[in-house]
Amino acid sequence: MGRIYIDKYTGRIEQTDIYRVRVILKDGTVLENLEPRRLFPLSNLTMYITLLDETEQEIAFVRDFEELDDTSRKALESCFSEYYMIPKITHLISSNEKFGSLKWLVKTDRGDIAFRIRNRHSDIKLIRGSNRILIRDSNDNRYEIPDYTLMDMHSQHLLFSYL
Amino acid sequence: MGLHTDMDTPFLTNQKLEEKQIRTIVEISEKDEPVLFAIVGEISAKANYSCNVLLVTKAHLFTYDFGSDTVSKKVAFSDISELYTKRMYGNGMLRAKKKDGEVLDIYRFTFAVAPLCDAVVQYVTEIHDGDASVEEALSAVSATFEKHLSICPRCGRTLSAPGVPCISCMNKGKLFKKLGKYLRPQLPVLVVSVFISILTTVLALVPPMLTKQLVDDILPNTKRDLLLAVAFSLIGVHIVHYALAGIRGYMLRICGNKIVAAIRCEVYEKAQHLPMRFYDKTSTGSVINRISGDTATLQAFMLRITQEVVVQFFKLVGIVVVMLCINWKLTLFSLFPVPIVAIGSRIFRQKIAPFYRRIWRRSSAVTSVLTDTIPGIRVIKSFTNEKNSTKRFEECVEDWRENDSKAGKILHAYPAIVNCLMACGSVIIWGLGGDLVMKGIETNTVGTISVGLLVSFISYATMFYEPVNFFANLSDSMQNAMASAERIMDILDAEPEHDFGKGNTNADIGGRIEFKNVSFSFDRTKKVLKNINLTIEPGDIVGIVGTTGSGKSTLINLLLRYYDHYEGTITVGGVDIRKIDMQYYRSHIGYVQQEPMMFHDTIYNNIAYGDNTFSVDEIINAADIANAHEFIVRQPDGYDSVLGERGVGLSGGERQRISIARAMLRNPKMLVFDEATASVDSETEHLIQEAIEHLISGRTTLMIAHRLSTLSKANKIVVIDNGNIIECGTPQELMEQKGKYYRLVQIQSMSDQVAASRRQENFD
């Protein structure tokens, strides 16, 4: 069976659960319990969305949010807001290096949090060709600094040596 | 975080709660059904950071969010038909499917507490299903809490197992102190060198004194006999001075080399014992850079320290003493740049340190591109990807160049300022000293200073700035070396593979293998193996099949102890494999991979692989049984044929047979084949198959295979799918079940038929 591409002409998407949707194709076929996932959760948030069934098999595919009708787009956005949690760091309040690991206290769009970074070389990644930084803490939680050059001077100063 | 069950906290918790918080929890729980354990999480139901607690009693679960002061509705275990955790991206959800079909989102969590939420699922399920009493289920939860929250009380770092010493805190000394242990064995030579340094410093102070004599006495009074004597004395002083300096330099270079050789070997040895999860997260380029590049930087620094710091220090002290004796006022004037240089050095250090880290990261990225691409040059050429490869390298080099150039501004501005200050200092001495000399001549008084004294003072002052300059610039190379030392310590201080069973060589490696409730994830985001239960009897030949990414190789990786941080237990001969001496354990397992590693050495040495105890006959015999001997004899250099990097010169099948011979030689009690015939043609497969059959007789064998024909001798088949064992039994049983294995066999026999008919067509 070929890949089913969903756009406003071929079908619509309805949210059925916090992270699941139902797809209703134009021919009346209903695909239940599909889990939308971003194929590029770091580099492209609105294109190339796969819809998996309970066994993680791809059932349908969305090329671009823009190709969907409003209801379908909102359904996916709602699922993604529940599924993906990558807090955006707005301020780096303090950075302490102790016994080889870093402890950061940060302000994010979801509140303040302190976390530990195990390896300052591999867990803090500046995306090449951009000012975006991705961070992974010692528990494998993810954080993002969308543009470090827009942060306050104190945060930038603390960040400098880790970039 | 820590496990807290004291008088103040009447329930298990992963984090110490404030007294007020405990009181609140006690108040909201019912008296006849107290909270038994609590998971203190970091996020609210809406995924904002908040202290949100999951509370579990003997029959209910509910949450309390301290941030919004809200208690959720209690969910009774009896109403739940299924409780499960859903791992999402950066967070997860504990969900309950009620008997009426309604799905409840009970508790949102970050991965920090994900394993504890899994324990809740197990607890509730066991109680609900009646498999365990509350006490029994609670004791399992308690063990999970303890295991996942073993933390170092000093640094808060999670430990690999409860009670193990924290590797970070063991080495709490400063970097220099750590490096000191490498200096200690060289102490006798260093002491002799210090003694020589004192002598050379004293000798270096002699020439200006003699110069004073020349200017003030011998030249004005034309004392020719003394002129000759002073000239010969100066020659003698210089010869002895430089000869001693040469000897000292040689001694210290030898010392420095020994120190660095020791560090390099220790880092390399440590790298051998680092767990696989270290390499999962660290690029090999970065490790290579540390072993070669960083130790070389450290070598340059340590040589400079050992050779120069001592000499320059004595020179500095000696010169200051002599200058003070000559004229204390002039001495104080000439010392004025010193505090400025010292403060400047500190500021410089702070400014330059981050740059060194940035430069290292970029330099490491350059090495990583090299280690990725040069060994893979065949692939690059075959995909004509030379341009992209070069572009990627150029980008990395450009990034490094930009950062290095930025650092260059500070790097060169600082020495320029220091040198300028020192030059100004010399001018001041000329001005003030010259004034004193002129006053003496004008008033014709003796007691101020003479021309000779000023000349010799200026010689000392010039000599004085040499050590000052040295110490001012030392911070530059020191920063570079400190950054290197820090990265070397990253490896030396990294947690090695734990060998809790060191010395325990009593286990029967050929005995029964049991996986009990084994679950594993590389990180906390996704479980690769889920609750695996498997028993393999001695002598069993077990085929492990499944689609790519199903978890087959991970299962083998756990058995080989590449990863120890899994849940559940794996026992061999009744003993937990984590409690068996690692070297003993692994030495009894023969492991043949899909892409066997060949080393740049002879075929003979590749089979013997560092073990000199085998006789030539044994090695030839092993090669013979592995069907390798027949192609080795066709090589012009036979067993002496040197293999290129990664075994270049041999086909995939030939390399595979050498690796089987290597395994054969060790006479292992357990054999593991990881898709050993996946990348060879049918004829070679037959040869390898034959070699494997020779090898496995009487040994417990685990074989991962895509080609089911490889498993013709297997008496047990395990089918893994998405981290679960979905089928297990004899090949006949599984064929009768007509499940996944049956379908795989059907598909493969069809594709074999197609391939055979194509071959026949081509032949016709």
Q: Evaluate whether B306 touches B257 at the Cβ level (below 8 Å).
A: no
| B616-to-B141, B608, B624 alpha-carbon distances in Å | 56, 9, 12
> What are the structure tokens assigned to B401, written together?
């160049």
**Between chains, do B49 and A139 touch, taking CB under 8 Å as contact?**
no
Helices (H), B493-600: 552-559, 582-587
Q: Which residues of B touch A111 (CB under 8 A)?
A: 48-50
Q: Which residues of A touch B89 (CB under 8 A)?
A: 41, 83-86, 142
pLDDT tens sequence across B661-715: 888 888 888 888 887 776 666 777 777 777 777 777 778 889 888 777 777 778 8
Give me the pLDDT at residue B239, please: 93
3-class DSSP assignment, residue A14? strand
Smallest CA-to-CA distance from B717 within B739, B693, B697 is with B739
pLDDT tens sequence across A10-55: 999 999 999 999 999 999 999 999 999 998 888 888 889 999 998 8
Give me the pLDDT at residue B3, please: 47
Question: Distance, in angstroms, between A137 CA and closest chain B CA?
Answer: 9
Side-chain-side CA neighbours of B135 within 13 Å: the count stands at: 0
Give me the pLDDT at residue B461, please: 82
Query: Which of A20, A40, A101, A110 to substitute to test the interface with B, most B CBs within 10 Å?
Result: A110
Residues present in chain B in total: 764
Give me the pLDDT at residue A154, please: 94
3-class DSSP assignment, residue B110? coil
Least CB-CB distance to B111: which of A122, A123, A140?
A140
Which B residues 328-387 touch A at CB under 8 Å?
353-355, 357-358, 361, 364
d(CA A97, CA A119): 11
Give me the pLDDT at residue B1, please: 40
Using 50 as the pLDDT threshold, list the residues of chain B that sit under it: 1-3, 6-7, 171-173
Give me the pLDDT at residue A12, please: 94
Mention every residue, 6+ apart, whose C-beta is less than 8 A from residue A30.
A22, A23, A24
Rg (CA), chain B: 37
Smallest CA-to-CA distance from B476 within B642, B353, B372 is with B353
**Between chains, do B358 and A140 touch, taking CB under 8 Å as contact?**
no
Pick A73 or B590 by higher pLDDT: A73
In which order are the strands placed within the sheet that holds B513-520? Answer: B529-536, B513-520, B567-572, B575-576
Give me the pLDDT at residue B157, please: 58
> What are the structure tokens assigned to B569, written together?
């237990």
Query: Which of A99, A108, A131, A156 to substitute to test the interface with B, most B CBs within 10 Å?
Result: A99
Q: Which residue on chain B is closest to A35 by alpha carbon?
A: B88
Q: Which residues of A touch B103 (CB under 8 A)?
A: 17
Q: Evaluate whether B292 touches B271 at the Cβ level (below 8 Å).
A: no
> What are the structure tokens assigned to B298, written together?
């450290």
Q: Evaluate whether B109 touches B94 at the Cβ level (below 8 Å).
A: yes
> Please, what is the Cα angle at B358 between B353 and B361, to 5 degrees?
130
> What are the structure tokens assigned to B514, written together?
């049991």
Least CB-CB distance to B157: which of A84, A101, A128?
A101
Q: Evaluate whether B195 touches B311 at the Cβ level (below 8 Å).
A: no
Give me the pLDDT at residue B2, please: 42
d(CA B290, CA B40): 39
pLDDT tens sequence across B578-608: 889 888 898 888 888 877 878 778 889 889 8
Give me the pLDDT at residue B571, please: 93
Instruction: Count CB-CB contacts under 10 A for residue B533.
Output: 12
Q: Name B52's bridge partners.
A: B41, B65
| B578-to-B115, B157, B461 alpha-carbon distances in Å | 20, 22, 66
**Between chains, do B47 and A140 touch, taking CB under 8 Å as contact?**
no
Chain centroid offset of residue B694 CA: 39
d(CA B56, CA B120): 8
Q: Evaluate whether B395 touches B402 at the Cβ level (below 8 Å).
A: no
Instruction: Determine contact: A100 vs chain B, CB below 8 A.
Output: yes
Q: What is the DSSP string of B557-569?
A: HHHTTS----EEE
ipTM of the complex: 0.90
Q: Which residues of B touch A17 (CB under 8 A)?
A: 103
d(CA A160, CA A141): 22
Residues present in chain A in total: 163
Structural domains for chain B: 12-159 (2.30.29.30), 175-492 (1.20.1560.10), 499-588+701-764 (3.40.50.300)
pTM for this one?
0.65
Instruction: Count CB-CB contacts under 10 A for residue B761.
Output: 8
Mention every residue, 6+ apart, whose C-beta is less than 8 A from residue B622.
B607, B661, B662, B664, B665
For B159, which DSSP code? P
d(CA A156, CA A161): 9
Which B residues 276-295 touch A at CB under 8 Å?
281-283, 286
Question: Distance, in angstroms, between B119 CA and closest chain A CA?
Answer: 17
For B73, which DSSP code? P
Question: Distance, in angstroms, between A126 CA and closest chain B CA?
Answer: 11
Give me the pLDDT at residue B172, please: 41
